Amino acid sequence: MVARGWDSIDIVLVSGDAYVDHPSFANGLIARLLEAAGWRVAVLAQPDWSSCEPWRQFGRPRLFFGISAGNMDSMINHYTASRKVRNDDAYSPDGQIGRRPDRATLAYCQRSREAFPGVPVVAGGVEASLRRIAHYDYWSDTVRRSILLDSKADLVVFGMGERTVLEVARGLDAGSTVKDLRGLRGVAYRLGASEPPPADSSTVELPPYEMVSSDPLAFCAMTRTSHLETNPHNARRLVQRHGREAVVVNPPALPLEQDEMDRVYALPFTRLPHPSYGAARIPAFEVVQHSVQIMRGCFGGCTFCSITAHEGRIIQSRSQESVLSEIRLLSQQPGFKGTVSDIGGPTANMYQMRCSRPEVEAKCRRLSCVHPTVCKLLGTDHGPLRSLMKEAREVPGVKRVLVASGVRMDLARRDPEYLEELAAHHVGGHLKVAPEHTDPKVLELMKKPAADDFVQFDEAFQAASRRVGKKQFTVPYFISSHPGSGLEEMIDLAVFLKRNGYRPDQVQDFIPSPFDIAACMYHTGLDPMTGAAVKVAKGTRDRRMQRSLLQFFKPENWFEVRRALEQAGRHDLIGSGCDCLIPDRPPREALEQKRNEATRAFTDQTSGDHIRGGPGGNAPDTTGQPGARPDHGRRQQRRRGSVGYRPRRPGESRRDG
């Protein structure tokens, strides 16, 4: 501020992430956007939330506090699917944990109000966006109220938010009050007990919080309605009552046009972390440092994924010249060694793909353009993308342009030329794809293509690689414990992997994210779109067995895999047969793992931090709770009563599940 001659600030952006001036980091992008519009912007990155003093260091902001938990939901950032504390935080210097609180949006909003009462508080980002209505919270295993009520934010900007944030800033700068801005697209707000909610033909009332928190059918109805009202061209306003108050969610903001996208990505980013971090590494930055985002949005509509809900179903693409200009700038940066690590977005191959009939797109309420089949009106031409990839690798100073984003296989198979181009120039030996499962019913619940699609794509990709003289492989990603997937389905998936020679390096254990359709399935045991019953794996042991089945080939998983096969009555898969997943006898590594676990358990039981029970030695009753274990009740009670994230609290395991 002193260097710029500023004596005051217009807007203070508070973020749970380290401050990185790069378009892949929301706080960097929004700060540059507001600065380019003429406002004085300060960024308060990962402040100490134990008091409001850090919020006062820039003085009273003239317009508003902008609050974001960061690029990830803070609870997913902190905890694994097993509800254990993660070992690192990719968005913090040197991956250090403990730099943001649990439910960071709530803490940051509270401190903003304490620091300067009366300054408008505007929340945004993934955490606030996906919690704008009542939602299932996996970590407390409860249905929580809209984040508007718990944070007391004046507005929540949901979705990507560039256009809406600018409109909020312009309105407040022109003298409007927060109430005057309630009509903006892409905002949600809270109504007091004395304020009547809107009631007209463009408004849909969701089941109230009191009903959805106790009735699974009402929760399903809320989920179904809210997802059907996400197309910005035809979405209606949503109202949900919470006791005497109500939450109002306006229709989403319209997608950015190409020239708007180009202007956003042409802002003068340094593409570097803030100098105050010195030599500290920020792992998430290192992943995207030399990458270029060419589009946003996803029309896949996968029920377990929040991308469509947050970025929208309509693809928003940059112009070819905008992308090439960024690559030219990137090639001149110190430390660039000639490789663009990724040219893509939420998916690698949806660039400039849109509905070919805008008048139909304006009325469509379909949740996926590619499931159960690819819509006949969807433009699936890879020509613009192939042209961009060719031009990108010819930029002076660029040796390689890789595609690290996941490829949508059902689209890629429609264009053999794209597949050939990909194999010849843009894959460094391994290509990421996400078949997710093999069971038809599970894939239907996920809104993913059939397993045959993956097999055919894999064969086509390897054939294309051989034609260009390369030996390359696909890296498939699969999910364990997704709604609909029981032991039988996971065993079938493991057999599929064994027969086809796939050995997944990573396993994605399903975490129900707020607002997602799959989270509704997990919570209610019902498919909200059809009302059909869905099997759900909630117990810790069941989830652990499913996870182990995906990596049945690892010796340390032998005991878990055997337990799963015996429980399912599949003794035929134990032995030396062609389809057998594990041998009769445990390998040495499995025995060592067993001994280590026994030693850890003994140490836990004899340490002071793990003595179970309170006065009288009565342990808390956890019978029937999801993932119940002897100390689960005490841990959950401590977590619910927490005032913030405390990574070194006694007894909290830091081992990744």
Give mean pLDDT, residues 2-10: 94
- Tens of pLDDT along 397-445? 999 999 999 999 999 999 999 999 999 999 988 999 999 999 999 999 9
Whether 396 and 335 have beta carbons less than 8 Å apart is answered as no
**Cβ partners under 8 Å of residue 228, min gap 6:** 365, 367
What are 93-98's contacts with CB under 8 Å, separation 24+? Answer: 93/18, 93/273, 93/277, 93/280, 93/281, 93/282, 94/280, 94/281, 94/282, 95/281, 95/283, 97/647, 98/645, 98/646, 98/647, 98/648
> What residue has token string 């140490």?
603
Q: What percent of the chain lies above the pLDDT cut of 90?
A: 86
In degrees and rounded to multiples of 5, residue 177 shows phi and psi of -90, 170
Task: Measure the CA–CA gap between 431 and 102, rounded to whole angstroms.
Answer: 35
Residue bearing the bigger pLDDT, 653 or 391: 391
Pairing of strands 342-344, 291-293: parallel
Is the predicted pLDDT of residue 515 greater than 90, yes or no? yes
Q: Which region holds residue 271: left if phi is over 0, alpha if psi is between -120 and 50, else beta?
A: left
Whether 576 and 584 have beta carbons less than 8 Å apart is answered as yes
Averaged confidence pLDDT in the chain: 91
Give mean pLDDT, residues 623-633: 39
At residue 128, the pLDDT reads 97
Task: Measure the CA–CA gap between 507 and 256, rounded to whole angstroms.
Answer: 35
Give mean pLDDT, residues 518-525: 98
**Cβ partners under 8 Å of residue 212, min gap 6:** 134, 143, 206, 218, 219, 222
At residue 656, the pLDDT reads 42
- Tens of pLDDT along 568-614? 999 999 999 999 999 999 998 888 888 887 887 777 666 644 433 33
Give mean pLDDT, residues 473-492: 95
Instruction: Assess if CATH 2.60.120 describes domain 290-406.
Output: no
Half-sphere exposure of residue 524: CA atoms within 13 angstroms, side-chain side: 30
Task: Measure the CA–CA gap between 475 and 428, rounded to whole angstroms.
Answer: 12
At residue 592, the pLDDT reads 87
Task: Look at 28-37, 135-144, 437-446, 502-511 and tell me which has the smallest mean pLDDT.
Answer: 502-511
Three-state secondary structure readout of 122-156: EEEHHHHHCCCCCEEECCCCEEECCHHHHHCCCEE
Fold of 429-603: Transcription Regulator spoIIAA (3.30.750)
At residue 504, the pLDDT reads 87
Residue bearing the bigger pLDDT, 655 or 26: 26
- Tens of pLDDT along 212-258? 999 999 999 999 999 999 999 999 999 999 999 999 999 999 999 99
Is the predicted pLDDT of residue 192 greater than 70, yes or no? yes
- Tens of pLDDT along 151-170? 999 999 999 999 999 999 99
Is the predicted pLDDT of residue 637 greater than 50, yes or no? no
* Same fold flag, 290-406 and 429-603: yes
User: Where do the domains of the chain lie?
Assistant: 11-249, 290-406, 429-603
Q: Residue 620 — very low, low, confident or very high, per pLDDT cuts 50/70/90?
A: very low
Residue 249 carries which DSSP code? E
At residue 598, the pLDDT reads 82
Give mean pLDDT, residues 125-130: 96
Q: Residue 505 — very low, low, confident or very high, per pLDDT cuts 50/70/90?
A: confident
Q: Residue 507 — very low, low, confident or very high, per pLDDT cuts 50/70/90?
A: confident
- Tens of pLDDT along 278-325? 999 999 999 999 999 999 999 999 999 999 889 999 999 999 999 999
Domain 11-249: CATH superfamily is: Cobalamin-binding domain (3.40.50.280)
